């Protein structure tokens, strides 16, 4: 089984976490570049960061700024950060009650197929939701996981967006556990008009904690990616 270094960052700002991701990402790229340059086979590490962010909106590199429905003054009033970032996808929200998972993997240690990678991340969430009796579904052409996708009440429960360079990944997915869904009303989530957003707690109508959901996510990640986690201090 492939080892992955696991770090639960607890509550940490998006900016600090993004900087840590970039640091680890660039370290892996540097190892790969040196391997090619010097004809070496130094193994590359992989990481999984778990975090809960304060209120923040992030806009992907191909996103449309018009999908942010409030201005800078309103962002300041509501104490919400905003960043244009280097992942795929459009705009999304991160905040308290949301479980955010950032795999920083060298896919050459697993498989060189970005579509398989995205579908497996979705499957981790789908299998986790199934443990709560919720049927998570994919939507063709739209990454992420939905509830009741093929009905008029379709609602998104997990957003997904990644960056990939030289088969090294960063960014990841955000699962709404007991998130305040009102913050999604200030954006067009993922740039998709006319669709609502939900959370596990909203669906089940009972309190659900991040601490309860995280082991399920990790178990399914272990199963689907055939990995073994090792806790690490960063």
Active site residues: 190
Angle value at C-alpha 12, between 189 and 209, nearest 5 degrees:
70
* Residue 116 CB contacts under 8 Å (≥ 6 apart), including other chains: none
HEC per residue, the chain: CEEEEEEEEEECCHHHHHHHHHHHHHHHHHHHHHHHHHCCCCCCCCEEEEEECCCEEEECCCCCHHHECCCHHHHHHCCCEEEECCCCCCEEEECCCEEEEEEECEHHHCCCCHHHHHHHHHHHHHHHHHCCCCCEEEECCEEEEEECCCCCCCEEEEEEEEEEECCEEEEEEEEECCCCHHHHHHECHHHCCCCEECCHHHHHCCCCCHHHHHHHHHHHHHHHHCEEEEECCC
CB atoms within 10 A of CB 93: 26
């Amino acid at each position: 089984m492939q080892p992955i270094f696991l770090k639960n960052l607890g509550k940490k700002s998006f900016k600090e976490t993004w900087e840590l991701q970039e640091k680890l990402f660039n370290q892996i790229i540097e190892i790969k570049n040196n391997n090619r340059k010097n004809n070496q086979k130094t193994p590359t590490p992989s990481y999984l960061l778990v975090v809960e962010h304060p209120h923040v909106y992030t806009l992907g590199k191909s996103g449309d700024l018009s999908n942010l429905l409030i201005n800078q003054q309103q962002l300041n009033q509501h104490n919400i950060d905003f960043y244009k970032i280097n992942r795929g996808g459009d705009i999304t929200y991160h905040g308290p009650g949301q479980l955010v998972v950032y795999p920083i993997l060298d896919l050459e240690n697993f498989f060189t197929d970005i579509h398989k990678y995205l579908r497996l991340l979705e499957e981790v969430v789908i299998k986790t939701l199934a443990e709560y009796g919720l049927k998570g579904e994919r939507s063709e052409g739209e990454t992420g996981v939905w509830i009741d996708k093929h009905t008029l009440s379709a609602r998104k429960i997990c957003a997904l967006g990644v960056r990939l360079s030289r088969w090294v990944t960063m960014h990841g997915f955000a699962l709404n556990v007991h998130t305040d869904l009102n913050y999604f009303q200030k954006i067009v989530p993922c740039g998709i008009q006319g669709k609502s957003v939900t959370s596990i707690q909203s669906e089940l109508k009972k309190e659900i904690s991040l601490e309860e959901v995280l082991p399920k996510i990790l178990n399914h990640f272990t199963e689907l990616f055939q990995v073994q986690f090792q806790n690490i201090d960063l």
